[in-house]
Amino acid sequence: MIWSWDYARSVLPILLDVIGTTMLATLWGFLIACTVGMVLAIARRSRFALVRMTINGFIQFVRNTPLLVQLFFLYYAVPMAFGFTMTAFTAGIVGLGLHYSTYMAEVYRSGIDGVDRGQWEAARALNFTKQQTWTRIILPQAVPPILPIMGNYLIVVFKETPLLAAITVMELLSRANNIVARDWRPTEPYTLVGILFLVISLLLSGLVSLLEYKLAQRQKR
């Protein structure tokens, strides 16, 4: 028999047991991506050419190398080269965060470029410091329009979490692999993993759509 509902029901709780790890990796990775991405976006506008070149070089390097390679480097190479060890989970969220921070930097750039130039001039006329200009004028106007795009990247980060299985993080795919290795029944575990990813992705997508709707309604007022 190809599919057994009894077997599927028996392994589902085992898979659900690691949903928390998957969601934590997603949320922490996305938080790091948003934070570091903001720093990168602001640093790219530095008046110092060396800073701009360094940041652009870092972004291009990270974006043009596979995330899986970066995860292996953080988990296996960094401890050997620098003596700095991380748990697999920490290496996973750092890898996810740094990788997608380079994409978030571009998202922030588009939001910042969308702020009217007159806002910068007004800040200078009012003798605002750089910190005041960014925190009180530019970012409050730049971030709201890009929130839906940021939400889409949250979904992307979630769908990338199976890569953490490669560095032994016990998330959904890792647990499914263990079940398959134990019982040698791949159909049910992998199908359930696919369904769980689909359901959660659709829920996150629904939240992003709701956010877009709320922002559209606010702009009409």
Yes or no: say if 150 and 104 are a contact pair by the CB < 8 Å rule.
yes
Q: Enter the pTM of the model.
A: 0.90
d(CA 70, CA 94): 10
d(CA 37, CA 26): 16
Kindly tell me if the per-residue pLDDT of 1 is higher than 70.
no
Q: Which long-range contacts link 83-92 to residues 24+ away (Cβ below 8 Å)?
A: 88/164, 88/167, 88/168, 88/169, 89/21, 89/24, 89/25, 89/164, 89/169, 91/167, 92/25, 92/29, 92/161, 92/164, 92/167, 92/169
Q: What is the CATH number of the domain that holds 159?
A: 1.10.3720.10
pLDDT tens figures, 70-99: 999 999 999 888 888 889 999 999 999 999
Q: Which of 4-8, 24-28, 172-176 has the highest mean pLDDT?
A: 24-28
Quote the number of domains for the chain.
1
Domain carrying residue 66: 5-220
Mean of the per-residue pLDDT values for the chain? Answer: 91
Kindly tell me if the per-residue pLDDT of 192 is higher than 70.
yes
Q: Is the dihedral of CA 195, 197, 147, 60 positive or negative?
A: negative
